[in-house]
Amino acid sequence: PRPMTAPLPAAEKHAVTSRPIRILFINDTARNGGPGHTLVCLLKFLDPTRIHRTVLLPREDVVSQEVRRHNAAERLIIEPALIENLFQPWSRSMVRRDFAAPAPLRLLRAAANIARAASGLARLTRRVRLERYDLIFCNGTAATLVGGVLAAVTRIPTVWHVFYPSVPPVIRPLHRRLAAGSFVRSILCVSRAVSGQFTSCPQKVQICHDALDLQAFDATARTPCLRRELGLADNSVIFGAHGRIVRRKGFIELIRAARLVLDRLDTEQRGRCHFVVLGDTPEDMPEDHLVQCRTLARELGVEDAVHFLGFRADVVPYVAEFDVAIVPSVYPDPLPRAVMEAMALSKPVIAFDVGGIGEMVNNHEEGRLLSGSPPDISGMAEACLDYFHAPELRLRHGHAARSRVTRDFEARSHARLLQAQLLDLAQTRHP
User: Would you call 247 helix, strand, or coil by DSSP?
Assistant: helix
- Per-residue pLDDT, 431: 41
Name the residue range of residue 402's domain: 215-408
- Per-residue pLDDT, 223: 87
Same domain, 177 and 240: no
User: Which residues of the chain, if any, have pLDDT below 70?
Assistant: 6-18, 428-431
Same domain, 228 and 338: yes
Same domain, 269 and 402: yes
Considering its fold, how many domains does the chain have in total?
A: 2
Asked whether residue 65 is domain-assigned, the answer is yes
- Please check whether residue 117 is in contact with residue 107, taking contact to mean a CB–CB distance below 8 angstroms: no
CA Rg value for the chain: 22
Same domain, 168 and 229: no
- Per-residue pLDDT, 341: 96
- Per-residue pLDDT, 322: 98
- Per-residue pLDDT, 35: 86
Round to whole Å and give the CA distance between 421 and 100: 45
Same domain, 129 and 220: no
Same domain, 112 and 123: yes
**CA neighbor of 394 nearest in space, from 371, 366, 369, 352:** 366
Q: What is the mean pLDDT of the chain?
A: 92
Burial pattern 178-213, b for ≥16 Cβ within 10 A else e, equals bbeeebbbbbbbbbbbbbebbeeeeebbbbbbbbbb
Give the model confidence (pLDDT) of 173-198 as tens digits. Answer: 999 999 999 999 999 999 999 999 99
Asked whether residue 431 is domain-assigned, the answer is no
Q: Is 283 left (phi over 0), alpha (psi -120 to 50) or beta?
A: alpha
Same domain, 244 and 386: yes
pTM: 0.92
Give the model confidence (pLDDT) of 215-235 as tens digits. Answer: 999 888 888 899 999 999 999
Return all residues near 93 (Cβ < 8 A) that are at least 6 apart.
30, 31, 59, 61, 84, 85, 283, 284
Same domain, 300 and 386: yes
Partners of 187 in beta bridges? 160, 205
Same domain, 274 and 398: yes
CATH code: domain of residue 123: 3.40.50.2000
